[in-house]
Amino acid sequence: MEIAINNKRYTVEAGSDETLLNVLRNHLGMTGSKYGCGEGACGACKVLIDGVAAPSCITTIGSLAGKNITTIEGIAEEVLHPVQKSFLETDVFQCAYCASGMVIAAVSLLKKNEKPSEREIIQGMQGNICRCGTYPRIVRAIQLAANQKNGHGQTN
Ligand code: FES
């Protein structure tokens, strides 16, 4: 099957019902997306599909014809993505198992809503679980990224 990931096309030896997460991790060596629940509930495996965050553990590669996938490996260009920077500046993570899924979900949220309220951030991030309970810092990091994007803070 052919699949477009991070602006590159890959041909993978996998059936159409294979999950995207399995293909990323075990066929292509992209291990940034994590396996948590395996049923679409924790967000650790999220990737962007045509710019929208989705759990790769319940997405079959057969459903991805014509779609562009962006994984955590492809989220940054020459420098870190502003969301990655804000998460680092806010010192968000403890164990960081949820990190890539959180960053992907935050990027997707800010694409839809450039200046979300605290409540909108909490609602928008509900599909992502942090087992260390760093939620207040995650909210602050997303607020920081939104402010930087809107020109109210440092961007580099
Ligand atoms: Fe995919 Fe939990 S591993 S949502």
Residue pLDDT, tens place only, 41-97: 999 999 999 999 999 999 999 999 999 999 999 999 889 999 999 999 999 999 999
Which of 19, 24, 45, 129 to mutate for ligand 1's pocket (most ligand atoms within 8 Å of CB)?
45
Residue 153, pLDDT score: 45
User: In the structure, what pLDDT confidence band is assigned to residue 154 with cuts at 50, 70 and 90?
Assistant: very low
CA of 4 to the centre of ligand 1 (A): 21
CB neighbour burial string for 24-49, b if at least 16 within 10 angstroms, e if fewer: bbeebebebbbbbeeebebbbbbbbb
Closest Cα to atom 4, ligand 1: which residue? Answer: 40
CA of 122 to the centre of ligand 1 (A): 18
User: In the structure, what pLDDT confidence band is assigned to residue 148 with cuts at 50, 70 and 90?
Assistant: confident
Query: 3-state DSSP call for residue 83?
Result: helix
Q: Which helix (H) or strand (E) holds 53?
A: strand 52-55
User: Counting atoms of ligand 1 from 1, which one is nearest the CA of 58?
Assistant: 1
Alpha helix segments (H runs only) across 6-125: 20-22, 82-89, 99-112, 118-124
| Cβ of 47 less than 6 Å from ligand 1 | no
Averaged pLDDT, 115-140 = 97
pLDDT above 70 covers a percentage of the chain that reads 96
pLDDT above 90 covers a percentage of the chain that reads 92
Largest CA distance in the chain: 47
Task: Indicate the pTM of the whole model.
Answer: 0.94
| Cβ of 5 less than 6 Å from ligand 1 | no
Which of 42, 49, 100 to mutate for ligand 1's pocket (most ligand atoms within 8 Å of CB)?
42
| Packing angle of the helix pair 99-112, 135-149 (nearest 10 deg) | 40
| Cβ of 76 less than 6 Å from ligand 1 | no
